[in-house]
A and B are shown apart, each in its own frame.
Chain A
Amino acid sequence: MIETTALQWVRDLNGALSQAKSTSKFVLLDVFNPG
Chain B
Amino acid sequence: MTYPHDYVTEAITTHAVPVQLDNTKPENAAVLARIHHIWTPDVRIWNDAGDELYRFDGFLPPAEFVARLLCGFAMAHLREKRFDRAERLYLEVLRNYSTAYAAPEAQYYLGVTRYRSDPESDELLTQWANLRSRYPESEYRVKQSFKDLPD
Contact = CB atoms under 8 A, between A and B. Distances in A.
Contacts of B50: 17, 27
Contacts, number: 128
B65 to A, nearest CB: 11
Contact of A31 (B2, B9, B41, B46): B41
B73 to A, nearest CB: 7
Interface residues of A, number: 31
- Interface majority SS (helix, strand, loop, mixed), chain B: mixed
B54 to A, nearest CB: 9
Interface of B: 1-4, 6, 9, 12-13, 15-24, 28, 31-32, 37, 40-50, 53, 69, 73, 76
